[in-house]
Amino acid sequence: MSSAKSYLTADERKIFYSSAGGWGLDAMDICIFSLVIPSLLAAFAIGRGNVGILATAALISSAFGGWLGGIISDRVGRLVVLRWTIAWFSIATIICGLVHGYTTFLIFRILQGFGFGGEWAVGAVLMGEIIRSELRGKVVGAVQSAYAIGWAVALLLFSSVFSLFSGPDAWRYLFVIAGLLGFPLFVMRMRMKLPADYLARMDIARRAHQQASVSTSLWIFSAARISPALPSPR
């Protein structure tokens, strides 16, 4: 990741760190869930089929989260959505560590999925819009490496937490800590401002889009759809 960073402007670096951090947290959650499956089987007295439902439900909701995140970010701005997807994801992760019933855990796993689905989709679009074309491939590739870092952090947390807390509720501490790690990223994004030239370009494009009277249907595959909605400058 350092090679990409050395060529980036200050604004591009902020987007890089923000996206890499969010994607790393997403990967960390997936790894943590895999590691605590034996604990979940015991805590909720469920079978392997129920664990499969937990995993599948989160993946399905992440697909819808990406779609919804894209739609909303076209209307309220990329950065606004990225701020709240990480907060949404973090709160849902913490609650997963606090609940005592399978059904409630399933509900918040689904909500987690919406959060990290939106995170992936909107973060990728924002990088494509802000990172210069000659560096875009390197930066996107470097951000993808955050996925492996997220898995490494999850393994370190798992080893540490289960060494300190050996009881049946050790997995709960793991989810709570994982959720809390998202809040520094939320604070970072609240302090971030998008580059002025990017805001100006998006404002011009948004007004041109409005004047063209392009279809605003949410179904992007409609034959009547000429071009996607453009984000508002935020």
The DSSP string of 114-125 is HHHHHHHHHHHH
Residue type, 146: A
Residue 195 has a pLDDT of: 79
Residue 40 has a pLDDT of: 94
pLDDT tens-digit series, residues 118-166: 998 898 888 888 888 888 888 888 888 898 999 999 999 999 999 998 7
71: CB partners within 8 A, 6+ apart: 218, 229
Residue 210 has a pLDDT of: 64
Burial class (CB in 10 A: 0-12, 13-18, 19+), 138: middle
Cα–Cα dist 123/116, whole Å: 10
pLDDT tens-digit series, residues 117-130: 999 889 888 888 88
Residue recorded with tokens 């939106």: 118
Q: Which residues of 57-70 are buried (b: 16+ CB within 10 A; e: fewer)?
A: bbeebbeebbebbb
Residue 74 has a pLDDT of: 84
| Residue 107: pLDDT band with limits 50, 70, 90 | very high
Q: Cβ distance 94 to 181 under 8 Å? A: no
Residue 149 has a pLDDT of: 93
pLDDT tens-digit series, residues 15-57: 889 999 999 998 999 899 999 999 999 999 999 899 999 999 9
Q: Cβ distance 7 to 136 under 8 Å? A: no
Distances in Å between the Cα of 172 and the Cα atoms of 52, 80, 169 are: 19, 30, 5
Tell me the CB-side half-sphere exposure of residue 106, using CA atoms within 13 A: 14
SS3 of 83-114: HHHHHHHHHHHHHHCCCCCHHHHHHHHHHHHH
